[in-house]
Amino acid sequence: MLVVKKFGGTSVADKERIFNVARRCVEEYKKGNGVVVVLSAMGKMTDVLIDQAKDINPNPPKRAMDMLLVTGEQTSVALMEMAMDVLGVPAISLTAFQVAMHTTSVYSNARLKRIDTERIRHELEQKKIVIVTGFQGVNKYDDYTTLGRGGSDTTAVALAAALHADKCEIYTDVDGVYTADPRIVPQARKLNEISYDEMLDLATLGAGVLHNRSVEMAKKYGVELVVRSSLNTNEGTVVKEVTKVERMLVSGVAADRNATRISLIGLEDRPGVAFKLFDIIAKANINVDMILQSIGRDNKKDISFTVDENTADAALKVIEENEKSLRYEKVSVKKNVAKISVVGAGMMSNPGVAAKMFECLFNAGINIRMISTSEIRVTVLVDENDCDRAVQSVHDGFGLED
Amino acid sequence: MLVVKKFGGTSVADKERIFNVARRCVEEYKKGNGVVVVLSAMGKMTDVLIDQAKDINPNPPKRAMDMLLVTGEQTSVALMEMAMDVLGVPAISLTAFQVAMHTTSVYSNARLKRIDTERIRHELEQKKIVIVTGFQGVNKYDDYTTLGRGGSDTTAVALAAALHADKCEIYTDVDGVYTADPRIVPQARKLNEISYDEMLDLATLGAGVLHNRSVEMAKKYGVELVVRSSLNTNEGTVVKEVTKVERMLVSGVAADRNATRISLIGLEDRPGVAFKLFDIIAKANINVDMILQSIGRDNKKDISFTVDENTADAALKVIEENEKSLRYEKVSVKKNVAKISVVGAGMMSNPGVAAKMFECLFNAGINIRMISTSEIRVTVLVDENDCDRAVQSVHDGFGLED
């Protein structure tokens, strides 16, 4: 069996943790399995490098930034090779150049295009544990690139796909995917299995365990993902194409606190208004999440949308700069809102899920400020103060602790 | 004109110094010259990385060690690209992989075999300053290697040779090559020119400005070297094939304090004795410097040699372990000795140099413990306590301050 294991920055933050990871990999190796390990930069190293760069150049060229950042993962893999040597197991560390990991050309946010597997296969045949730098790649100019957020997870899934690995284990600081954040809902239950689509919705909604980019890739190539803890040997959650006959109605409840709602009131009700608004915002490189447009009335309509609170001021700025061309009557900003979502493939054939969720919130006396739904998800916007109670009440209402 | 400039670790130790280097390179660039910059790792970064490695594995595999160490120079070149961007000049940083710098396979002490110049030439044609990692290479297995001591100087000279650069400037913390160490001899004078051979002898004798490996390579490929300060714009010392009609008798006086003399007394006077002794020592990886063998008498002879004081104990250990096969009567160790050398191409045709040197030392009341000569060098061993007075008296005696 061939297993790809990915460990994040906290899992390799110091000597003790590096050896913890090394021992886990050696255990797998000693079962006779092929092991490919993908590592992130140690602990806060990436942040330290960014600070170092910004001290030199507040707006560092992205190419140089990637050249600098990739030293983080290279440090991790070199030290891991040394740790495995102490444990007496042959291991070899490889950078994106050595593998090679081909990406698109864009720096700081490249996408993986192709992975050469020859070197890795050769090293696996030599019975070595292969340790690969996550997060990084090489573009057609022969320059280092980095993959942006969720990059190391994506490296791991892409390697698993390219090597036709039997599974891809993503090690994290939680035991797996839960029906809700256990810090909010103590009765939250770990899921043994979840489908790619459900995981995607949870990831997008800020459940934080996996980045949706890696889940998308796993779904596309049918890579079996396992989310598990680097701190214990519990089984974790398997993410795959679940084909149970009786699906659970709802798999979990997710919350994302860092939202701000921006509403443009009294826009003209004519074609192209929404396009113009979101084009301006996209060009400012601001991600928009929920979007809601009121039904037009008296030739006027309102558009509300949520953005990450970090980008709220920037979004407001570009809107005000374009006041004349957007022609709105008023813009209102509501900070400190939270998105609460229920996710479950079962709800496709169960129209009562949304109503049930609204009932739970009503019973808890929580005001709903915005609603958005997809086939397997219902999301509502509530005041941030109500967030924890909202999650708890929905978790209780759907009986997820059982 | 194409210039290769090499800056060591202290020259890029912090933000201020990085910008100092960047400005110097930009100045050259603005004269319309092509500029290739070779950088070492920042300040103590290499030491920090070594400590980090040894904390994980007291005896780290050399391949992994090189994988770790090369992140040092990569950090330097990435930050330098950012600094040059601040100064508004197009620059590009390249690793050994990107160049590519082909080396022999041995880790931690590889030798450069071939440098591809295509990428660098392409970037120079785009009117960019090209910033290259010193000290590192890539071997035939597509793995990172490092070049060992004097590595970054060697990278710079090799690049200058491969690119047919007009000169190779080695920036250091002194103004150039002096007739003696100015800390010992205040009247020491900076040389404007010195020949490769004289520089080689001075380098070997611990003058410390250049590593002999880089001087050897410069001589082989006829690269004009300039040793100059990164702290001022003084002219420095040019190292080249000097062909002056009237040569200076002596170019300089060098001192090396870290020597220990080991003497084997009463060895049998038969063939193979010296071979056996130095073979044993070579196999223990200990470098021997001066060697002196007494004239045989009564079928007995003595052999004395000097080693670096750090390796003296190890040398003594292997000698004592081989006491039976070496068959000596006694071994004596004299620590705290210093080598004083006068170097000068002029002495080839001036047999009086050695005598003159001995006279200076006699006048200063300094006892000579060992003598060794080459065509352009006379070296004596003295007590370390006498070192500074010896250098001063020889410097005075040859009138080097004029």
| pLDDT above 50 (res A245) | no
In A, minimum Cα distance to B81 occurs at: A64
Q: Does B68 touch chain A (CB under 8 A)?
A: yes
Sequence ranges of chain A with CATH classification 3.40.1160.10: 2-172
| pLDDT above 70 (res A248) | no
In A, minimum Cα distance to B92 occurs at: A64
Q: Does A79 touch chain B (CB under 8 A)?
A: yes
Integer Cα distance of A372 and A381 in angstroms? 9
Integer Cα distance of A386 and A364 in angstroms? 9
Q: What is the DSSP letter of A354?
A: H
pLDDT of residue B289: 79
Choose, out of A57, A84, A116, A143, the residue to mutate when testing the contact with B (most B CBs < 10 Å). Answer: A57
Q: Which residue has the higher pLDDT, B91 or B303?
A: B91
> CB atoms < 10 A from the CB of B186, how many?
10
Whether residue B77 and residue A92 make contact (CB cut-off 8 A), yes or no, is no
Sequence ranges of chain B with CATH classification 3.30.2130.10: 252-397
* Closest C-alpha among B216, B72, B231, B70 to residue A98: B70
* Closest C-alpha among A162, A218, A227, A142 to residue A193: A227
pLDDT of residue A377: 83
Q: What is the DSSP letter of B106?
A: -
Whether residue A78 and residue B64 make contact (CB cut-off 8 A), yes or no, is yes
Is B41 in contact with B78 (CB distance < 8 Å)? no
Q: Does B129 touch chain A (CB under 8 A)?
A: no
- Average pLDDT of chain B to the nearest whole number: 89
Q: Does B364 touch chain A (CB under 8 A)?
A: no
Which chain A residues are closer than 8 Å to B141 by Cβ?
none
Is B130 in contact with B36 (CB distance < 8 Å)? yes
Q: How many CB pairs under 8 A join A and B?
A: 107
* Closest C-alpha among B262, B254, B265 to residue B380: B254
Whether residue A79 and residue B68 make contact (CB cut-off 8 A), yes or no, is yes
B2-172 placed in CATH 3.55.50.30: no
Whether residue A82 and residue B75 make contact (CB cut-off 8 A), yes or no, is no
The letter for the amino acid at B361 is L
For residue A174, give Cα distances in angstroms to A15, A257, A341, B198: 21, 19, 20, 66
Whether residue A82 and residue B56 make contact (CB cut-off 8 A), yes or no, is yes
Q: What is the DSSP letter of A175?
A: S
Whether residue B92 and residue A63 make contact (CB cut-off 8 A), yes or no, is yes
Integer Cα distance of B191 and B238 in angstroms? 8
A5: three-class secondary structure by DSSP: strand
Tokens matching residue B285:
């990886």
H/E run at residue A66: helix A62-86
Integer Cα distance of B181 and B188 in angstroms? 7
Q: Does A123 touch chain B (CB under 8 A)?
A: no
The least confident of A77-81, A190-194, B208-212 is B208-212
| pLDDT above 70 (res B329) | yes
- pLDDT mean over A11-30: 96
Integer Cα distance of A204 and A115 in angstroms? 26
Q: Does B18 touch chain A (CB under 8 A)?
A: yes
pLDDT of residue B276: 84
Q: Does A74 touch chain B (CB under 8 A)?
A: yes
CA distance B57 to chain A (A): 6
Whether residue A119 and residue B142 make contact (CB cut-off 8 A), yes or no, is yes
ipTM: 0.78
| pLDDT above 90 (res B185) | no
In A, minimum Cα distance to B64 occurs at: A78
pLDDT of residue B7: 96
Q: Does B55 touch chain A (CB under 8 A)?
A: yes
Which chain B residues are closer than 8 Å to A78 by Cβ?
53, 64-65, 67-68, 71
How sure is the predictor about B67, in pLDDT bands with cuts at 50, 70 and 90?
very high
DSSP one-letter string for B56-99: H-SS--HHHHHHHHHHHHHHHHHHHHHHHHHTT--EEEE-HHHH
* Closest C-alpha among A69, A75, A56 to residue A13: A75
Whether residue B83 and residue A57 make contact (CB cut-off 8 A), yes or no, is yes
How sure is the predictor about A156, in pLDDT bands with cuts at 50, 70 and 90?
very high
* Tens of pLDDT, residues A203-236: 665 556 788 889 989 999 999 999 999 888 899 9
Q: Does A65 touch chain B (CB under 8 A)?
A: yes
Position of tokens 């929404």?
A274
pLDDT of residue B181: 83
Q: Which of A71, A82, A95 sits opposite B53 (nearest CB)?
A: A82
Name the pairing type of β-strands B370-374 and B377-383.
antiparallel
pLDDT of residue A351: 66
Q: Which of A68, A74, A86 sits opposite B78 (nearest CB)?
A: A68
A348: three-class secondary structure by DSSP: helix
Integer Cα distance of A112 and B189 in angstroms? 59
Q: In what order do the strands lie in the sheet with A101-103?
A: A112-115, A101-103, A136-138, A144-146
pLDDT of residue A3: 97
Q: Does A126 touch chain B (CB under 8 A)?
A: no
Is B322 in contact with B282 (CB distance < 8 Å)? no
* Tens of pLDDT, residues B241-266: 876 545 567 888 988 888 899 999 88
Whether residue A56 and residue B18 make contact (CB cut-off 8 A), yes or no, is yes
* Closest C-alpha among A292, A309, A213, A215 to residue A256: A309
The letter for the amino acid at A60 is P
B252-397 placed in CATH 3.10.105.10: no
Q: Which residue has the higher pLDDT, B290 or A207?
A: B290
Which chain A residues are closer than 8 Å to B98 by Cβ?
142-143
Is A322 in contact with A279 (CB distance < 8 Å)? no
- pLDDT mean over B384-398: 92
In B, minimum Cα distance to A138 occurs at: B98
Whether residue A93 and residue B67 make contact (CB cut-off 8 A), yes or no, is yes
Whether residue A68 and residue B61 make contact (CB cut-off 8 A), yes or no, is no
| pLDDT above 80 (res A4) | yes
Whether residue A74 and residue B67 make contact (CB cut-off 8 A), yes or no, is yes
CA distance A65 to chain B (A): 7
- pLDDT mean over A280-295: 81
* Closest C-alpha among B258, B251, B220, B248 to residue B237: B251
In A, minimum Cα distance to B18 occurs at: A56
Q: Does A100 touch chain B (CB under 8 A)?
A: no
In A, minimum Cα distance to B98 occurs at: A142
Q: 3-state SS of B125-148?
A: HCCCEEEEECCEEECCCCCEEECC
CA distance A42 to chain B (A): 12
| pLDDT above 80 (res A366) | yes
* Tens of pLDDT, residues A331-357: 999 999 998 988 887 776 666 788 888
Which chain B residues are closer than 8 Å to A142 by Cβ?
98, 119
| pLDDT above 60 (res B207) | no
pLDDT of residue A316: 93
| pLDDT above 60 (res B206) | no
Q: In what order do the strands lie in the sheet with A370-374?
A: A288-293, A300-308, A252-268, A330-343, A377-383, A370-374
CA distance A46 to chain B (A): 12
- pLDDT mean over A50-75: 97
Q: Does B118 touch chain A (CB under 8 A)?
A: no
Is B192 in contact with B209 (CB distance < 8 Å)? no
Integer Cα distance of B267 and B301 in angstroms? 5
For residue A333, the number of C-alpha atoms closer than 13 Å in the C-beta half-sphere is 15
- pLDDT mean over B267-274: 80
A62-100 as b/e: b if 16+ CB within 10 A: ebbbbbbbbbbbbbbbbbbbbbbbeeebebbbbbbbbbb
Please, what is the angle between helix B353-363 and helix B387-397, to 10°? 130
Q: Which residues, 6+ apart, have CB-to-CB distance to B9 below 8 Å?
A: B40, B41, B42, B43, B44, B45, B46
Q: Does B322 touch chain A (CB under 8 A)?
A: no
Residue B52, classified by CB atoms within 10 Å of its CB into exposed (0-12), middle (13-18) or buried (19+), is middle
